[in-house]
Amino acid sequence: MFLLRLAQWLNETRWSVAIRESDLVFPLIETVHILALSASVGLVLWVDLRLIGLAMRNKAVSDIVEQLKWWMRGGFAVMFLSGSLLLYSEPLKCFNATSFRLKVLFLALAGVNAVIFHTTIYRRVDQWDRVAVAPLQARLAGYFSLTLWLGVIIAGRWTAYF
């Protein structure tokens, strides 16, 4: 029950209450979070669509990844920071919400999927970089990524409203 006690303690801190009860700060953080999510996941979507062969089939996968990776990472960093502030502002709500737990699970699995992709199949990208349809492992990574990020978004919206 350590996490519950931590959530209860955080919920009562001055900064948590201030963010949660602010008419301006909480909506501003939430807006930044959604915009950063849109930027980061939107760019991940382009890479995934290329991997599964539905977009930019005439472009090298490595070129797309190189051009977008810093923007994706920056968007993810802002999304993670703003999400942490949202969690800090409503720790008890998040602790008790099944949807938040699902969101964290999907987010962790999306991270595992990305690490597996970049440490295995993407290391051999020079062998399949310019083919219109990527190898099965790359396509599966793209499908998993799309599915997991969709889960993050749905669970996140579910957490916000329920």
The pLDDT tens digits of the residues spanning 3-49 come to 899 999 999 999 999 999 999 999 999 999 999 999 999 999 999 99
- Domains of the chain by residue range: 2-161
To the question of pTM greater than 0.85 for the whole model, the response is: yes
Q: Which long-range contacts (CB under 8 A, 24 or more apart) does 31-37 make?
A: 32/78, 32/82, 33/79, 33/82, 33/83, 33/86, 36/75, 36/76, 36/78, 36/79, 36/82, 37/75, 37/79, 37/153, 37/156
